[in-house]
Structure 1
Amino acid sequence: MAPPLALLAAALPLLSYLDAKHQLTYDYAMISSMLYARIRCTLLERRGRLCPFYCIEEHALSPADCGRLFLIYQGREYSYKEGYELALKYAAWLRERCNVQRNEIIAIDFMNKPAMIWILLGLWALGAKPALINYNLEGDRLVHCVKISTARLMLIDAEVKKVLEGAEGEETRRKLETAGTSLEIIIFDEATERVVETWKGFRPGDEERDGVKLPDMALLIYTSGTTGMPKGAIVSFLKLLYAGCFVSAWVGLKKSDKFYTCMPLYHTAATILGLVTTMTVGSTLVLGHKFSTKTFWPEVRSSQATVIQYVGETCRYLLAAPPSPDDKDNNVKIAFGNGLRPDVWVRFKERFGIPTIAEFYASTEGTSGSWNLQKGEWGVGAVGRNGSILSLLLGGGVKIARMDAENTELFRDGNGFCIQCDYDEAGEVLWKLDPNDIGTSYQGYFQNPKASGEKVIRDVFQKGDAYFRTGDLQKRTRDGLWYFMDRIGDSYRWKSENVSASEVSDVFGLHPAIVEASVYGVALPNHDGRCGCAAIVISPPTSDDEVLQELSKWVTKLPRFARPIFVRVVKAPGGLEKTGNYKLIKGRLRDEGVDLEKVGIVGDVLWWLKNDEYVPFGKRDWEGIVGGKVKL
């Protein structure tokens, strides 16, 4: 009989094959992280310790952890003990000066800075609910966000106070102070900060935070409002803590790690996946004031950050910066975030020497997500990854449903049910809900039952079931990879074919002289469907003519029907319009189409594909299309 070691040695090749085929090791790590997060959330609920305030308190009162770094901001360091003491001062000031009470919603309009974190922790200590306002908002959009929050107190960073100054700002302030509740506005300047830091702090009693359940609201975070006014997404304690606990376990975050983010704290990425994630472990948050290619890497290097956070197009902008001999001079082991496009992925890893990309897909109001911890070459560009075991365990919780020919509505069969997509077929991602208790996992939008209800679809694959509509198109492969394709509405139909705007954007983004590219469909007179248009930003000192000559050959990488007929060269100093979280906005581009009067008024230039060559698009060409003399 062969000895055990010999049997094990003989079995190793088979075990390695099975692991590679079914991703057993990867699934084990994912399932372990999910179980850890779920168990910890359940225990915290039972112990009455769901409030994130308890996270910093635990480390601050621990002799082993109290001296550990909690926060680094522009070279200033705060230990967990110092951060905790400041949180208590802010809690005392908020109660004694502002009369903040439990369950009250307080609006915060701040740039990234330590004071915003102390305010968050102070409000949570009092059992209050922060409403995080996008600091880019002004006018009616700002008034709308504060009004729907029902806040009677608004704290505004002195850096943001310009939205209340001048004729328009004064009108905004008047609307804020007279919109529904009687709103008190406090400008939080350096003098106010000094007052608060000298306030006598106190620890609010546990009764301020007792009785909280996982589905209860922890804070309000607003949608970007690209298709209308922003909506206040309810972030529950379940989402807040589960995300923080899961991410810390999934990426292997340790107390010795330093997590760098310059993403805005008013959004999920920095607050939940940055601040809360680091607090659950006791690691260090390195906070940047605002994203800038000039300060990003210097702050990462000076802080010796081991994890960096990205969102949307930030990695593309970092790549577009001039190369430096210091590019690989960093301690970063993981880049974590969402929205890293395939055309940027490998180049970003190679240039900055980052071994691991932790890409995920989720939404602030959503009920689930997908995750891809990518190393080496396999899995590049995927927003999710499942092995055989994970697919079996979670397969019923997430579905990709077939869309109609226009990719605008879910397709239903003769029995009225949706059809699950085959492998490599794009469709809408749906997340399963408990049809009898939807509120446990999906809280929706604050005081907006109509918008909340529109995200829920029933009788989907069988009578009585319910799913959350993500509004996004994805496809999955046989080997367990999930790929983001488009937002519904971003894909378009041309020449009886569906075109993925994201796939076309990726091809344009690979061109070395193109810094940004956004692809969308535009309606044309006398033509069916929507014609492709690519808005691009050209990197100086490359001339428009140089790119014009190269693009005709470059787009042959695409099927003929997917090659954009039009190219719009954007001349605005800031490039393409983006949300505050660095996601591209297409609405205005799509509405302006290729009407020369609308495009020219902002100084942009149009080209079109004529006889397989991109050439300038002029007034006579537009008149030919309008008059029906030109058929594309």
Structure 2
Amino acid sequence: MVPLPVAAASVVAGAAYLNARFSLPHDLLFFRISTATLLSLIRARRADNINLFYVLEKHARDKATAARPLILFEGRSHTYAETYDRVLRYSSWLRERLGVREHDVVALDYQNSDDFIFLWFALWAIGAKPAFINHNLQGSALAHCLRVSSARLAIVDPRVAHSLTDDVRRSLPGMEFVVFSPTVEAQALRQEPVRYPDAVRSESDYINMALLIYTSGTTGMPKPAVVSWAKIYMASNMSAKGTNATRDDIFYTCMPLYHSAASCLAFCSALCLGATGAIGRRFSTKTFWKEVRETQATVIQYVGETCRYLTVAPPEIDPVTGENLDKKHRVRAAMGNGLRPDVWDRFKDRFGIDTIYEIYAATEGAAGLWNVSRNSFGKGAIGRFGLVSGAVVGRRSTLVRVDNETEQPWRDPETGFCQRSKAGEPGEFITRLPAEDIKQRFQGYYGNEAATNSKILRDVFEKGDAWFRSGDVLRWDKDGRIYFHDRIGDTYRWKSENVSTAEVAQILGLHAAVQEANVYGVQLPHHDGRAGCAALVLDKASGLPEKKVLDSLAAHARASLPRYAVPLFVRLIKEVGTQTTSTNKQQKQVLREQSVDPAKVQGDPVFWLKDGTYVPFGRDEWRALQRGDVKL
């Protein structure tokens, strides 16, 4: 007979093995998120209160939550009841003074602030639809975004009112601009807090538009993506369930609210839970942890290279005690998208973060992925599914092989159909759509049928089927982990081989001297394809001579990468974040256009690989390439 302690230990070990082998917690999480979203949508649709104004109202009227803080911003705190009162006053001002009516689109050009949220929910309170404008836009780009929103009214933050130039105003005849100055704010606050009838907020379907959020515009003018009520419910449940959050949690974000990451994944999650949303005006390594500590945040949000910039920033030292404050916080989980594998452990270890909740989603996307990671097994994955959830997801989403010449999914010459990628093989992530009613899963771009259709792939595996194109190449391994491989268009071809910029950047980022690596392909005279170039920020605190660092970097790249993937050029950038979007996502377009031409690289030192190391590359070397004297 086996002794009881031995038998118990065997049972525990066996359960742990099965748990890890089949990722049972991820199965459970998948069904918790899916079920909670579906039930919420069904209940809200039946009651015709799918508008999230009703969620705010419920918490504001509930004695358990009315006095709880909903918004923390720059030392100010607003409870649910106070926020509700302010929203009703602002909605009365919008309707009675400015004539806004249900279903009107109103542009909101605002920095992160408490007023941004009050105005946003005030529009929802009268059944109007906000169009979130990137407050960094100027000139023609700003005018374009305002024009395609179809809005006849734009409410503008006084801090960005300077962008409303005469040219912008003249290009938008008929549009009214209201700068929400302290005088105008006081006028709005004097309004009686009117709660308008439910009829103004009635919605016929949960796929109806809740708001407009624009694409980043890195490859053209930004496009307004339709964000449905269903998508906001899904986003809030993904964040809340994925971080195992409760009412007692405080979600901190300083990512821009005009993007869905901060507005839908962070703030709306806090709202739906009855928890607290702490808002930073903008991202800065100097204020991030200070605000996290001041607000007592328990869940923080990151996007893009945010965690890298925090990790390479110098530690904050208490001026009195000399104590390192890196781990002086209440954060238990970091939630977001874009945390690269080379930064993952360094970020967790330095700041003492227990859980990483990586989310893969797009504002206009038809599906989302997630990965809850507390150990090394899920490190670097953007998605992870168990045996059951993986099978369910696999019926609605898949990876297909890509033709790198056309940047389109590869099709069999005989059948004309696409081919699924094998386990571990890169492929574009696509999601099945209802062929007869695309809008049930993909609402597209507002007023732009051509852009909407460009994201839809037909006749993929059978005649008449329809799938949503993500534009991202991922890898899905046999253990249910999904990794980002590259963005279509970023992958380049060199020496008849395809090179993933993301994977090369990850390898370079593992070098001790590299603080940031942005990898891209550049066209060279008299050469086919694109040669690899890495724009690097090196750690100046190392004290090592530049040549020694570059020698070491070349040896590291050659030892870790296939020969064709080793960058032939290195460009040294002075500061991290030089080429990023407002959400800290790296941009490559400008760097690609500048190539390695010394006249275009803005004085940055450029080096090229010769005799196994990186040596200076200047005007003479560039002229040699132009003459065809050099063959790489």
Q: TM-score range by the shorter chain?
A: over 0.9
Distance 1:423 1:574, change over 3 A: closer
Partners of 2:281 and 2:204 lie apart in 1 by 32
Counterpart among 552, 560, 569 of residue 566 in structure 1: 569
Shift of 1:342: 0.6
Distance of aligned partners of 1:64 and 1:408 in 2 relative to their CA distance in 1, 3 Å threshold: same
Using the TM superposition, give the Cα deviation of residue 552 of structure 1 relative to its aligned residue in structure 2, in angstroms.
1.8
Q: Which amino acid aligns with 1:332?
A: V
Q: Output the CA distance in 2 between the equivalents of 1:9 and 1:282.
A: 41
| Structure 2 counterpart SS, 1:478 | coil
Matching residue within 170, 173, 176 for 1:174: 170
Shift of 1:53: 0.5
Q: Does 1:199 align with 2:202?
A: no
Cα displacement (A) at 1:510:
2.5
Aligned equivalent of 1:576: 578
Secondary structure of residue in 2 paired with 1:580 = coil
1:126 maps onto 2:129 in alignment: no
Long gaps (5+) in structure 2: 317-323
Q: Residue 549 in 1 paired to residue 548 in 2? A: no
Q: CA RMSD in A?
A: 1.9
Q: Distance in 2 between matches of 1:514 and 1:394?
A: 37
Q: Please state how far the C-alpha of 1:526 moved relative to its aligned partner.
A: 1.4
In 2, the alpha carbon distance for the partners of 1:512 and 1:162 equals: 43
Secondary structure at the residue paired with 2:390? helix
Q: How does 1:294-313 map to 2 (within 5 A)?
A: 294-313=286-305
In structure 2, the partner of 1:435 is: 435
Aligned residues of 2:26 and 2:389 also touching (Cα < 8 A) = no
Which stretch shows the higher mean deviation, 140-149 or 577-586?
Answer: 577-586
Counterpart of 1:402 in structure 2 is 401
Q: CA deviation at 1:508?
A: 2.1
- Does structure 1 conserve the Cα–Cα contact (< 8 Å) formed by 2:423 and 2:476? yes
Shift of 1:351: 0.3
Structure 2 SS opposite 1:484: strand
Deviation at 1:10, TM superposition (A): 6.1
Alpha-carbon distance in structure 2 between the residues aligned to 1:313 and 1:34: 29
Could you tell me how far apart the structure 1 residues matched to 2:396 and 2:583 are? Answer: 28
Distance 1:529 1:85, change over 3 A: same
| Deviating more after overlay: 461-470 vs 8-17 | 8-17
Q: Which amino acid aligns with 1:261?
A: T
In the alignment, the residues of structure 2 paired with residue 508 and residue 195 of structure 1 have an alpha-carbon distance, to the nearest angstrom, of 55
1:286-316 C-alpha deviation (Å, 9 max, x unpaired): 0101101111001101111000000001111
Partner residue in 2 for 1:37: 37
Deviation string, structure 1 residues 59-105 (Cα, Å, up to 9, x no partner):
00001110111111111111100010000011011111111100000
Q: Between 548-557 and 415-424, report the one with greater CA deviation.
A: 548-557
Q: Does 1:424 align with 2:407?
A: no
* Corresponding residue of 2:325: 326
Query: For residues 615 and 234 of structure 1, what CA distance do their matches in structure 2 show?
Result: 49
Asked if 1:279 is matched to 2:271, the reply is yes
Q: Secondary structure at the match of 1:366?
A: coil
| CA 548–434 in structure 1, closer or farther in 2 if over 3 Å, else same | same
Task: State the 1:523 CA deviation.
Answer: 1.1
Q: CA deviation at 1:207?
A: 0.6
Equivalent residue letter for 2:346:
R
Inter-CA distance 523–124: structure 2 relative to 1 (3 Å threshold): same
TM-score normalised to structure 1 length: 0.95
Tell me which moved more, 231-240 or 187-196. Answer: 187-196
2: distance between equivalents of 1:8 and 1:30?
30
Task: Give the AA of the match of 2:525.
Answer: P
**Residue in structure 2 matching 1:226, options 215, 218, 226:** 218
Answer whether contact 2:239 2:266 (CA < 8 A) is retained.
no
Q: Any idea what the Cα deviations from partners look like across 1:109-129, whole Å, max 9, x if unmatched?
A: 000010010001100000000
Q: Does the CA contact (< 8 Å) of 1:315 and 1:344 recur in 2? A: yes
Q: What's the secondary structure of 1:589's corresponding residue? A: helix
Q: C-alpha displacement at 1:395, in angstroms?
A: 1.2
Distance 2:406 2:242 in 1: 34
Shift of 1:611: 1.2
Where does residue 338 of structure 1 map in the other structure? 337
Amino acid at match of 1:43: R
Instruction: Indicate how the Cα distance of structure 1 residues 5 and 197 shifts in structure 2: closer, same or farther if over 3 A, else same.
Output: farther
Name the amino acid aligned to 1:583: K
Paired residues of 1:221 and 1:266 also in contact (CA < 8 A): yes
| SS at 2:557 equivalent | helix
The separation in 1 between residues aligned to 2:161 and 2:586, in whole angstroms, is: 26
Q: How do 1:13-32 and structure 2 match up within 5 A?
A: 13-32=13-32
Q: How many residues align?
A: 621
Q: CA deviation at 1:545?
A: 4.1
Output the CA distance in 1 between the equivalents of 2:190 and 2:484: 50
> Which letter does structure 1 place at the counterpart of 2:400?
A
What does 1:511-530 align with in structure 2 at a 5 Å threshold? 511-530=511-530
Residue pair 1:428, 1:472 contacting (<8 A) in 2 also: yes
Q: Is the 8 A contact 2:492 2:530 kept in 1?
A: yes
| Conserved? CA contact 1:260–1:287, under 8 Å | yes
Give the match's secondary structure for 1:124: helix
Shift of 1:278: 0.8
Please show how residues 87-98 of structure 1 align to structure 2 within 5 Å: 87-98=87-98
Q: What's the CA shift for 1:550?
A: 2.8
Higher mean displacement: 587-596 or 301-310: 587-596
Percent identity among equivalent residues?
45
Structure 2 distance, partners of 1:10, 1:627, is: 72
8 Å Cα contact 2:33/2:234 also seen in 1: no
In the TM superposition, what is the alpha-carbon distance from 1:627 to its structure 2 partner? 1.4
> TM-score, with normalisation over the residues of structure 2?
0.95
**Gap regions ≥5 residues in structure 1:** none
Matches within 5 A, 1:373-384: 373-384=372-383
1:396 aligned counterpart, secondary structure: helix
For residues 303 and 594 of structure 2, what CA distance do their matches in structure 1 show? 27
Per the alignment, do residues 626 and 205 of structure 1 end up closer, same or farther by CA in structure 2, a change over 3 Å counting? same
Tell whether the 8 Å contact from 1:50 to 1:212 is kept in structure 2 after alignment: no
Whole-Å separation in 2 of the counterparts to 1:426 and 1:220? 32
Q: Deviations over 1:180-230 (max 9, x none)?
A: xx1000111222222222322111110111234111000000000000000
Query: What does 1:595-610 align with in structure 2 at a 5 Å threshold?
Result: 595-599=597-601, 602-610=602-610
1:233-269 Cα shifts (integer Å, max 9, x gaps): 0001110112112321222110000000000010001
**Separation in 2, partners of 1:607, 1:247:** 43
Residues 537, 569 of structure 1: 8 Å contact kept: yes
* 2:339 match: secondary structure: coil
